[in-house]
Structure 1
Amino acid sequence: MIKHVHKMANVLQDFKPGPLDFYRTKASFDWKQLKVFLETEDIICYQNEVFKELQTQSEYQAQDSLFSSSFDQQRRIACRQTFIYKSIELLSLGNLLQNLKKPAVATRIMIQYAPSSTIKFSVTDSLFISVVRSMGTERHHHFIEDSDNGKIIGCYCLTEIGHGSNARGMRTTATYNLDSHSFILNTKDFEAAKCWAGGLGQMATHAIVYANLILDGTNHGLHSFVVPVRDPKTLLPYPGLIVGDMGEKIGLNGVDNGFVIFNNYKIPQENLLNKLGDVTKDGKYVTLFKDPNKRHGASLGALSAGRVNITAICEALGVKALTIAIRYSAVRKQFGPEHESEVPILEYQTHQYRLLPYLAAAYALRILTTMFVEVFYQFSIDSLLGNNVDKLPDLGVEIHALSSATKPIAGWIMKDAIQESRETCGGHGYLKAAGIGDIRNDHDANLTYEGENHVLIQQTSNWLLKFWPAVRAKEKISSPLQSVDFLSSGLDILNTAKFEATNIDEMCNPKYILSVYQWLVCYLLKRTWEKLNTDIDNGKNLFWAKNDSQVFYAKDLSICFVQHYLLQVMYNKILEARDDNIKNVLSKLFALYGVWSLQKHLPTLYQGGYAKGEMATTLVQNSILKLCGDLKNDAVSLIDVIAPPDFILNSVLGSSDGEVYKHLQSAIFRSPYAMSRPVWWQDITNWKENVLKNKL
């Protein structure tokens, strides 16, 4: 035990004494032990190695939080950081695969430190190579080698100006020319221009382009092609292309999102990524898939990686904002009883209610994303190596269904967490030096890319609806990740379950909370199925029936399903804890996230007859407030466990030493605008003089 504690002390350093000690000394658990429980000592050592390495890289030294870089500077910095990212051995794919927990850790660290370059690397390097590897064959390996060696820079072009979520509506064409054994790419009009491709705006030399394969006048649907777009030596576009930049965005301006228009642009036949479909030299189309729908779905399978990673990115950015807000709330003092000292704003019930449920959600997401990224990477490895072939299809479908909802849920939760963090820091939170504004702007893209959330989440409800006939037949239902196993008892849950809690302890019991969500999923599944089929029976076609079954039905079904899965994964993790203090504080976080989320589902509980009278609403409300109060003294240490180091946080309000006002004074005083006369000061005095002259 002594040896273990000594090793942990070397891995995790104590925080400097300061104002935050007021709460740190009140914590009910050892923050170091909780961090080791969540991440393991090996991962913590890996994190520390990455932190140390990043601090030696001049390109990654944090920009002064007071100043905004110009648009061009942001682009150049992100570009140079991307090359450094690619060269850092600690972040290489081979290193990550030695421990499947490392991909989630690497993503979290880098997205918190340098969001633009991290996104840029993921689309110009990781995604490009991943698609070539998964969709291509041996004839395409040279693209992977050239990308690895830095000879070419890739990007990914799916979205068009007129079509995003509806991939089937894409209009770019690749027509096979038998005489030249080549494909001719064309963009019919500006609405068909490929757009929003990260890296395409200024630096990509090659692109994965999704286009409709036209052969002898027959459209064989979307296929992927490797398309050269710029000369690697000059970065000038090739003739037959119009390549440009999308312009300045709300955030992530280090990423050069671009567009491309094709005008009879010829590429070799071999550039078709042909694992799923190919064209022979004599102009015949061949594919292993008899059903075009299955080939289409398989061709877009690479997008699951993006959704899994974005779920982790949302959590990482939300944690960064919550670190700032919670530490600030522990130091900032306002008001207090008459004739007594002012109290930290964290003591106020309203402040606790505004922040602590999001802290609980952050923990639930941290536990989920760590597991989920690990599962996905193992799935990817098995797919490449041909391992567990009989299990991969079901696992792939479940990953797709889960990630189609975890990405929206994580995005929405952390959008609100970041905004609440900004507001709870008051006026100081509006300063650029606080750091929250940049987090908010950078997070915003997570709500849209890799699938607009409201469209994407329908994939989850579509999957769930397929289980309802089995539920009605009382068949055994199971899935590789066990997300739907409880549906085997779906009818029994609907027929027998009801609101039974009579006090806060019963309301906060993990098994009881899980049972409430199981009823919600079963009820909404039944209700959505019935709504869909009633509309069809009344003459609506399937398209409009599905469209008219989203609000209050399918969307709520997907949300409740993922909330249940979040809690299920977190509960399983809690059961692994051997330290009672750790188990206790995690159980409170579990209950707070679970009961807080139930607030929005109270109408459904009453509508379905699960709850009656005032008890359910009263207990939910009282439980939330009780849990917030119970977790108040633990909040600082809980955020310490998952917070990034100060050099990554880069906030005058959220430093781990708690010296808010010292850092704030330093930031304000070193601003060149703080105590200087503007260079245009004469505009002010001349205007005043002109006003006086006019009056006279």
Structure 2
Amino acid sequence: MSNLIPDLKSGPLDFYRKKASFDWKKLKVFIETEDIVKYQNDLYSVIRDHPDYKVDKTVLSTFDGQRRVATVQAMAQKSMDQLALLNTIHNLKMPPTATRIMMQVSPSATIKYVVGDRLFSSAIMNMGTKRHMKFISDMEEGKIFGCYALTEIAHGSNVRNMRCTATYDKQKKVFVLNTPDFEAAKCWAGGLGQLATHAVIYAMLVIDGHNYGLHSFVVPVRNPKTLLPHPGVIVGDMGEKIGLNGIDNGFIQFENYEIPKENLLNKLGDVTDDGKYTTPFKDPNKRHGAALGSLSAGRVTIAVICETMGVKALTIAIRYAGVRRQFGPDGKTEVPIMEYQTHQHRLLPFLAATYIIRNFNTYLSEVFYQFSIDRMMGIESEDGPEKGMEIHALSSASKPVVGWTMRDAIQECRETCGGHGYLKASGIGDIRNDHDANLTYEGENHVLIQQCSNYLLKLWPHVLKRQTISSPLHSIDFLTHGLDILAKKFNARSTQEICCPNTIIEIYQWLVTYLLKISHEKLENQLKSGKLQFWAKNDTQVYYAKSLAVAYIQHFYLQRMLLLISESPDEAVRNVLTRMFSLYGLWSLEKHISTLYRGQYAVGPELPELVHEAILKLCADLKDDSVSLIDSIAPPDFILDSVLGASDGMVYKRLEKSIKGSEYGMNRPRWWQDVVKFDLKNKL
């Protein structure tokens, strides 16, 4: 174990590490596996020694410098990623592990690589045929740079009303791309702003004036030798952003721009030379859904990215809380701020959430990668379509919930670190800014989560008929007993009872079933009142369908965590993970208390009183374990790069070095003479 996971340096954090109820190394190996820990070590070693990751921070102070560094590092990732990709079929934990590590090292470079290489290639593989494999070969050999362009200036989520067109010319046997105005310009495509030579473009396919809907095309954008745009292409950069400025997000417009007929990605729909449209889908809606299926990969990956950024911020805040001492009883030594109930309540529920979400992300990534591999290899299972729909529903709920949870976690981490957390050297500000984009791309969260509630609302008629309800991943199986679940009432009478995992699961199952019931009834009543389905669904979101999707994914997070806990051979590890399970379950449940009373699941004051007492008790119980819990998932110091969160706990020495060693720390300003020569009388 000591060879696999080195000991951490001794220091102020020993105060808590010696109090831990479990061995942090055993926990790390349990949640990761030995193979993954070895892979992590290998990748960390490569990054530490790689010249492209030894960056002078002054270079990153300029917009152009950030762009150049991100581009160089994205290209370096291509070679480093091979280890993960080559082993994917043997160990499906490799890809999410690689994403976690590389996002902690360089978020801009990683996202640039993922969307410019993986997403571009994935779209071609999923929607193209053999004639398009040359683009993937050229991409792998570095001859071209790709990007993925779906969103338009005036249309993002509503892809059915996008206005970029690709009109087939029978005489020339080409597609002619046009952008009617700037509102129809493709935008936000990562890598398109300055460097992409090719793009997967989504456009409305038009033949003889008839619109056949959204299709995808491989479109040459720039000359690979000069990086100058082709005639008929207007392409440029979106400009400086809140964060992730290493990514050149771009826009593109077309003016009668011709591309070869063969550049249509034709797995889902094709055009004959004489202009006849063909498709294996009789239902246009199914073809449309299949065309957007490649976006599921993005949602699964973004959930991993969100969790990874949360881990980084929590590592800084929790270690800082173990070192920072403030106040205490009169005449006594000051105590670490982690000892305060308010501080525990601000941080430890987010730590528990991170563990529960991390386990789920690993699970869903494995499921999705296996599902994708089977599709690529032509392996069709009987439950394939149902599994695809369930993955779609789970990822559509999880990406928003993880994004919102980690947004709040990162902000709380910034605030719990006080004024020092506001320093750029703390690292939290960059994490916060870089995370922000996760709340919007690959589907705006409030729009995206409706995909999950739409999946669930179809199930209520089956519940009423007491039909067997099951799914490949078993996220909805409990609804088979939905009517019996609704007949149950809250009966816990102590904190011990309410902390019991089975009690928490039972409460969540009632909550999901009840929200499904009232959401379905609300929608039906809206329709009966004469509203169009569009407005009926719109008016069933707040307090109903959205809450349903949130509760559903939280229940499945917990369901998957219980399975993980049951697999641990170490009692101490099982115990600490169970406390984390209960803390996340009850802390999340606190936001649903009004619904539990609305449905008369509980009466009297016992439920909120027990929930609050249990949350505070669990926080107190986990306080001494918190540093070791974060040690098990924290990145190495050279990647964390925070004066507040280093594993040795030497906060004040690092602060002094950072403050005094900065460009401005001990120097007068270059413009000091403007100050001393200032003559107030003459100015007046």
- Place the TM-score, normalised by the shorter chain, in its bin: over 0.9
Amino acid corresponding to residue 603 of structure 1 in structure 2: S
Q: Which amino acid aligns with 1:30?
A: D
Q: Matches of 1:232 and 1:98 in 2, distance apart? A: 36
- Are the structure 2 counterparts of residues 481 and 338 from structure 1 closer, same or farther at C-alpha, using a change threshold of 3 Å? same
Instruction: Indicate yes or no: 2:624 matched with 1:633.
Output: yes
| Structure 2 match to 1:370 | 362
What is the letter of the counterpart of residue 25 of structure 1?
Answer: K
Cα gap change, 1:284 to 1:668, in 2 (>3 Å): same
- Residue in structure 2 matched with residue 484 of structure 1 by the alignment: 476
Match runs of 1:600-639 below 5 Å? 600-639=591-630
Aligned residue in 2 for 1:419: 411
Q: What is residue 569 of structure 1 aligned with on the other side?
A: 560
Whether 1:16 and 2:9 are equivalent positions in the alignment is yes
Distance 1:72 1:271, change over 3 A: same
Quote the residue 1:46 is aligned against: 39
* Correspondence 1:361 to 2:353: yes
In structure 2, the residue matched to 1:435 is 427
**Residues 86 and 92 of structure 1 are in contact (CA less than 8 Å); yes or no, is this contact kept in structure 2?**
no
SS at match of 1:314: helix
- Equivalent in 569, 582, 586 of residue 577 of structure 2: 586
- How far does the alpha carbon of each residue in 1:63-98 deviate from its partner, in whole angstroms, 9 at most, with x for none? 54x985200000000000011111226545223333
Give the distance between the partners of 1:28 and 1:88, measured in 2 at CA: 37
Q: Which residue of 2 aligns with 1:553?
A: 544
CA distance in structure 1 between the aligned counterparts of 2:60 and 2:656, rounded to whole angstroms: 19
CA distance in 2, matches of 1:474, 1:693: 89
Give the one of 248, 251, 276 matched to 2:240.
248
1:152–1:232 Cα contact (<8 Å) kept? yes
Tell me how far apart the structure 2 counterparts of residues 632 and 89 of structure 1 sit (CA, whole Å). 37
Q: The residue matched to 1:250 in structure 2 has which SS?
A: coil
* Alpha-carbon distance, 1:498 to partner: 1.0
CA distance in 2 between partners of 1:486 and 1:523 (Å):
13
Give the Cα separation in 2 of the matches to 1:618 and 1:169. Answer: 50
- Letter matched to residue 691 of structure 1: L
Residue of structure 2 equivalent to 1:29: 22
Correspondence 1:57 to 2:46: no
Contact 1:433–1:667 (Cα < 8 Å) also in 2: yes
What is the Cα deviation at residue 627 of structure 1?
0.2
Residue matched to 2:667: 676
| Equivalent residue, structure 1, for 2:443 | 451
Q: Distance in 2 between matches of 1:576 and 1:161?
A: 49
Q: What is residue 231 of structure 1 aligned with on the other side? A: 223
Measured in 1, the distance between the counterparts of 2:104 and 2:364 equals 19
Give yes or no for contact 1:567–1:594 (8 Å, CA) kept in 2: yes
Percent identity between the two aligned chains: 63
Distance across 2 between alignment mates of 1:686 and 1:654:
43
The answer to whether the aligner puts 1:189 opposite 2:181 as a matched pair is: yes
Paired with 2:158 and 2:36, the residues of 1 have a C-alpha distance of 40
> Which residue of 2 is the match for residue 122 of structure 1?
114
* Letter of the structure 2 residue corresponding to residue 478 of structure 1: S
Contact map agreement 1:246 1:256 (CA 8 A) in 2: yes
Match of residue 686 from structure 1: 677
Displacement of 1:577: 1.1
Deviations 1:598-624 (A, max 9, x none): 111010011110011110010000000
CA distance in 2: counterparts of 1:145 and 1:370, whole angstroms: 30
Q: Deviation at 1:686?
A: 2.8
Distance 2:661 2:311 in 1: 28
> What amino acid sits opposite 1:40 in the alignment?
T
Shift of 1:36: 0.7
Matched residue SS, 1:267: strand
Task: Kindly provide the amino acid, as one letter, of the partner of residue 12 in structure 1.
Answer: I
Aligned mate of 1:88, from 80, 84, 99: 80
The one of 283, 287, 292 equivalent to 1:291 is: 283
Corresponding residue number in structure 1 for 2:642: 651
Matched residue SS, 2:2: helix
Asked whether the 8 Å contact 1:140–1:273 carries over to 2, the reply is: yes
Contact 1:157 1:209 in 2 (8 A): yes
1:203 matches 2:190: no
Secondary structure of 1:457 counterpart: helix
Q: For residues 147 and 390 of structure 1, what CA distance do their matches in structure 2 show?
A: 34
Q: Distance in 2 between matches of 1:457 and 1:145?
A: 36
Which runs of no fewer than 5 residues in structure 2 stay unpaired? none
Q: Does 1:401 align with 2:393?
A: yes
Larger CA deviation: 95-104 vs 655-664:
95-104
Name 1:532's counterpart in structure 2. 523
CA distance in 1, matches of 2:519, 2:365: 30
Compared with structure 1, are the counterparts of its residues 655 and 62 closer, same or farther at alpha carbon in structure 2 (3 Å cutoff)? farther
Identify the residue that residue 156 of structure 1 maps to in structure 2. Answer: 148
User: CA offset at residue 683 of structure 1?
Assistant: 2.0
Distance 2:598 2:255 in 1: 57
Q: Aligned partner of 2:371: which letter?
A: F
**Cα distance in 1 between the residues matched to 2:82 and 2:321:** 35
Q: Whole-Å Cα distance in 1 between the matches of residues 86 and 287 of structure 2?
A: 30
Give the match for residue 135 of structure 1: 127
2:335 counterpart residue number: 343
Q: Secondary structure at the match of 1:543?
A: helix
Contact 1:335 1:342 in 2 (8 A): yes
Q: Distance in 2 between matches of 1:270 and 1:628?
A: 60
Q: What is aligned with 1:462?
A: 454
CA distance in 1, matches of 2:378, 2:390: 19
User: For residue 86 of structure 1, what is the amino acid of its counterpart?
Assistant: K
2:162 corresponds to which of 170, 186, 189: 170
- Partner-residue secondary structure (3-state), 1:605: helix
Question: In the alignment, which residue of structure 2 is the partner of 1:105?
Answer: 97
Separation in 2, partners of 1:332, 1:692: 48
User: TM-score, normalization: structure 2?
Assistant: 0.99
Q: Distance in 1 between matches of 2:5 and 2:563?
A: 26
Change in CA separation of 1:180 and 1:651 when aligned onto 2, cut-off 3 Å: same
Contact 2:219–2:259 (CA under 8 A) maintained in structure 1: yes
Tell me, in whole angstroms, the C-alpha distance in 2 between the residues paired with 1:202 and 1:656. 39
The letter for the 1-side match of 2:605 is: E
Using a 3 Å threshold, how does the CA distance of structure 1 residues 67 and 625 change in structure 2: closer, same or farther? farther
Please tell me the root mean square deviation across aligned C-alpha atoms, in Å. 1.1
Deviation at 1:60, TM superposition (A): 1.3
Say which SS state the counterpart of residue 367 (structure 1) adopts: helix
TM-score normalised over the length of structure 1: 0.97
Equivalent AA in structure 2 for residue 391 of structure 1? D
Q: Distance in 1 between matches of 2:653 and 2:162?
A: 55
Q: Using a 3 Å threshold, how does the CA distance of structure 1 residues 52 and 678 change in structure 2: closer, same or farther?
A: same
Aligned residues: 684
Aligned residues of 1:181 and 1:268 also touching (Cα < 8 A): yes
Give how far 1:674 is off: 0.7
**Cα distance, 1:670–1:202 mapped onto 2, change above 3 Å:** same
Distance in 1, matches of 2:583 and 2:70, equals 39
1:383 touches 1:392 (CA, 8 Å); kept in 2? no
Give the counterpart of 1:75 among 67, 73, 77: 67
Q: CA offsets, 1:254-309, max 9 Å, x none?
A: 00000000000000000000000000011100001111000000000000000000
**Does residue 543 of the first structure (1) align with residue 524 of the second (2)?**
no
